[in-house]
């Protein structure tokens, strides 16, 4: 009895790689676009953190394109699959090297964008020092060292073509890859924990505190991706089937970048999420309105009258007053922590002066009476709805 054995069928995991990573890329693109459109509609100018995030996203577009090329050449199949062949393996090694370079630089720029945003948020001096320290770590371990390692062989082609005998100074790169992964995890945890500690120490309405906490806690998803990517690094050092055993590493490295961009796009959208909650879950907005009513109409004209509600600021807080609209995550909110005074009796040294203000909206004139002594000072309203003192800028 004879049996006709047909050709062996080789597995192909291309869809397992492309579906989750492409879906995550689409989501991060959606939220980044929402962030930009929402900022433009509210008159917020692009800051350094926005430009860095856009650069990182642009590199993620290249990362997606390279991922499709890698899958078409060899990734997701066994290295002995006849459909690959030596020519495809050489092409695969070349584009894998480029993809590693793009991914490393994109993640580093993403981290710089997050750091720039946290510096603008201006939480505290200690936290700013920690952020600057993390920038140095990212520059050293997540940018310079990996990039220099990828160019560690001469001639240049020897960096991806192992058939060429070259001189390589970067040998045993696994410890460097582990250190890079650990730095990513530690910085992610720091970016989550430090803002949560700060939020627990400032006076903010409960809804604002919890919405900010949720936004920062979502960063844990990026940390999870970094952890699994770091775990998968060791697989490639032992395998003889890298195109197959490198599937998980490819998925997690892409997810780390795309999820990071998605999470980094969320903080400026906090007010947008609040508006959605008020619109579709009005009962939640009503339960918190009584607690936040003192700050909801800050800088806005009340209906039925021409009264403008003024916010009281401390005398030693010029940064919170003069900061342009949209430059800080806190100052962009109506419920800014910088504009909330501590309750209780006045405990500072010096003299407290009480001034009664009456604003003439049409003339833009402030009539002040301090100890029954009339003083005229000119007040005007900037585009963000804040009351400014002194002569308005030219062109108004």
Structure tokens, 147: 């990039």
Beta bridge pairs of residue 369:
356, 374
Count Cβ atoms within 10 A of the Cβ of residue 15 and give its class: 0-12 exposed, 13-18 middle, 19 or more buried. Answer: exposed
Contact residues for 110 (Cβ-Cβ < 8 A; gap 6+): 52, 53, 56, 257, 260, 261, 264
Site of tokens 């795309």: 258
CB 220 within 8 A of CB 262: no
Structure tokens, 294: 């003192």
Rounded Cα distance between 359 and 377, Å, is 10
CB 168 within 8 A of CB 152: yes
Rounded Cα distance between 132 and 129, Å, is 5
Rounded Cα distance between 396 and 389, Å, is 14
Domains present along the chain, CATH in parentheses? 14-273 (1.20.1070), 302-339+347-396 (no CATH)
Low-confidence spans in the chain with pLDDT less than 70:
1-7, 122, 170-174, 204, 207-208, 211, 283-396
Rounded Cα distance between 317 and 97, Å, is 50
Site of tokens 């002569």: 391
pLDDT of residue 270: 79
pLDDT of residue 109: 94
Structure tokens, 12: 């192909």
Q: Tell me the CA end-to-end span of the chain in Å, nearest whole number.
A: 97
What pTM does this model have? 0.69
Rounded Cα distance between 382 and 392, Å, is 9
Q: How far is CA 384 from CA 119, 300, 351, in A?
A: 22, 9, 31
């Amino acid at each position: 009895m004879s049996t006709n054995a047909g050709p062996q069928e080789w597995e192909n995991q291309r869809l397992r790689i492309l579906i989750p990573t492409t879906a995550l890329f689409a989501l991060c693109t959606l939220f980044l676009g929402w962030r930009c459109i929402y900022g433009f509609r509210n008159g917020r100018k692009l800051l350094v953190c926005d430009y860095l995030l856009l650069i990182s996203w642009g590199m993620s577009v290249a990362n997606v394109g390279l991922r499709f090329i890698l899958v078409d050449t060899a990734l997701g199949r066994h290295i002995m699959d006849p459909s690959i062949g030596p020519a495809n393996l050489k092409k695969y090694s070349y584009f894998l090297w480029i993809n590693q370079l793009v991914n490393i630089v994109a993640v580093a720029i993403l981290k710089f964008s997050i750091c720039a945003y946290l510096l603008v948020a201006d939480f505290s001096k200690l936290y700013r020092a920690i952020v600057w320290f993390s920038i140095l770590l990212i520059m050293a371990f997540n940018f310079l060292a990996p990039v220099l390692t990828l160019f560690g062989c001469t001639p240049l082609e020897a960096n991806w073509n192992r058939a060429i005998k070259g001189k390589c100074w970067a040998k045993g790169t696994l410890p460097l890859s582990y250190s890079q992964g650990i730095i990513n995890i530690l910085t992610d945890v720091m970016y989550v924990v430090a803002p949560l500690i700060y939020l627990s120490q400032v006076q903010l309405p409960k809804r604002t505190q919890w919405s900010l906490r949720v936004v920062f806690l979502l960063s844990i998803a990026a940390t999870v991706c970094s952890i699994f990517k770091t775990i998968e690094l060791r697989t490639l050092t032992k395998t003889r089937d890298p195109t197959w055993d490198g599937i998980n590493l490819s998925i997690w490295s892409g997810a780390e970048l795309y999820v990071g961009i998605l999470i980094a796009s969320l903080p400026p959208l906090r007010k947008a999420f609040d508006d959605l909650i008020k619109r579709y879950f009005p009962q939640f907005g009503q339960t918190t309105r009584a607690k936040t009513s003192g700050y909801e109409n800050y800088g806005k004209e009340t209906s039925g009258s021409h009264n403008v509600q003024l916010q009281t600021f401390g005398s030693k807080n010029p940064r919170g007053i003069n900061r342009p609209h949209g430059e800080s995550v806190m100052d962009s909110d109506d419920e800014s922590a910088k504009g909330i005074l501590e309750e209780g009796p006045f405990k500072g040294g010096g003299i407290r002066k009480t001034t009664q203000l009456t604003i003439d909206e049409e003339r833009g004139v402030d009539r002040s009476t301090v100890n029954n002594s009339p003083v005229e000072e000119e007040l005007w309203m900037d585009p963000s709805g804040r009351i400014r003192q002194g002569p308005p800028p030219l062109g108004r």
